[in-house]
Amino acid sequence: MGAALKVAVLTVSDTRTQETDTSGAFLEEALREAGHEIADRQIVIDDVYQLRAIVSQWIADPEVEVILTTGGTGFSGRDSTPEALAPLFDKTIDGFGEVFRALSHTEIGSSTVQSRALAGLANGTVIFCIPGSTGACRTAWEGVLRDQLDSQHKPCNFVGVLRGH
């Protein structure tokens, strides 16, 4: 692992608590094991404006370099992470959703088409929106995020984008 990044983790859920948030806990543990620093970790209900408010605050905070959200990316009634966060992006990272769904297809088959995993860059902060299951968080971490948040990963990674290398 190369340079440590400051990462905020947000779980989007109407029902989870700190005690039952296995997805947020998995991401926090994986990040710490990789040498990153947890800048903040919160849980927010699936509400477009509350979600946007927290993420906007982190985007404006120079101490937060990466935001990982988990939850709210499906098609059920209140799932609204893409609607809340996509308008905040200066650039989208289309490849994240594409690669996530390709990896996920080997695990859950055609159900992956209902995943609206997405990512983008906003004010020099990279944001990854991952489905809410712990399995999906593991797939995203092992298949994309672990390498892309590692400054030593070649031929490219997001540390160089975040830190201007």
| pTM of the shown model | 0.96
In a domain, 80, yes or no: yes
pLDDT digits (tens, 9 = 90+) for 95-107: 999 999 999 999 9
**In Å, how far from its chain's centre is CA 25?**
13
Closest by Cα among 129, 138, 25 to 79: 129
**Is the residue at 81 inside a domain?**
yes
* pLDDT tens-place string over residues 5-49: 999 999 999 999 999 999 999 999 999 999 999 999 999 999 999
Q: pLDDT tens digits, residue range 104-157?
A: 999 999 999 999 999 999 999 999 999 999 999 999 999 999 999 999 999 999
Give the residue with greater pLDDT, 27 vs 78: 27
Report yes or no on 14 lying in a domain: yes
Q: What is the CATH number of the domain that holds 108?
A: 3.40.980.10
Report if residue 74 sits inside a domain: yes
d(CA 37, CA 44): 21
DSSP conformation letters of 141-157: IIIIIHHHT-TT-SS--
In a domain, residue 19? The reply is: yes
Q: Which domain holds residue 85?
A: 6-162
Cα–Cα distance for residue pair 143/66, rounded to 1 Å: 17
The answer to whether residue 1 is domain-embedded is: no
Q: Domain tally for the chain?
A: 1
